[in-house]
Amino acid sequence: MALSLRASAYLAKGDFEGAIADNTKMIELAPTLYFSYVLRGAAYMFKGEYGRAREDLEKGLALKPDAPLAEIALADLLATCPVTEYRDGNRAVILATLACKGDQWESPEDMQVLAAAYAEISDFNNAILYQEKALTKLTAGQNPDILAEAKIRLQKYQDHQPFRRQPKK
């Protein structure tokens, strides 16, 4: 379990190689633990390795089909990937909606993914609706970078543009 916690910490601080290494070890130790595939997939996504990301996220979702974390992580890739071949807006809407329901519509992060999914299918009215809902749920004490990105997303949707996540350095 300590390895899983460290992998999560690596991901949170942007050490994608550390997150990938620790999640790979977790997968070797417990190959049916969906969480490790999802975290490793997220690390690959942030790193810009979209094929590996999709493979891991699909595996995580297959291992636990009703897990909001697996649903939202895959929906995020399918809605925001800058590489066309990895996007699937219709599936992203379905997965993000399931994740929002699973989290009782309380997660602003999930709502932002749902908004991005709607933008991917050019349903900008719903994209704006869910992005505004996400913004109202983000707290004033939130990281200023997160709030700034949320506002940029809203502006993109108001301008009828989808949001594309760029790899993090």
- DSSP code at position 65: T
Q: Which CATH number fits domain 1-65: 1.25.40.10, 3.40.630.10, 3.30.230.10, 3.40.50.720?
A: 1.25.40.10
- Select from 1.25.40, 1.20.120, 1.20.1540, 3.30.1240 the CATH code of 82-169: 1.25.40
- Boundaries of every domain in the chain: 1-65, 82-169
User: 27 to each of 60, 105, 139, 146, how far by Cα in Å?
Assistant: 11, 30, 35, 30
Tens place of pLDDT per residue across the chain (169 aa): 688 889 999 999 999 999 999 999 999 999 999 999 999 999 999 999 999 999 999 999 999 999 999 999 999 999 999 999 999 999 999 999 999 999 999 999 999 999 999 999 999 999 999 999 999 988 766 778 888 999 999 999 999 999 999 888 6
Tell me if the pTM is above 0.75.
Answer: yes
DSSP state, residue 86: G
Q: Give the residue among 45, 100, 111 at the shortest CA–CA distance from 78.
A: 45
Distance CA 69, CA 110 (A): 9
Neighbours of 156 (CB within 10 A): 20
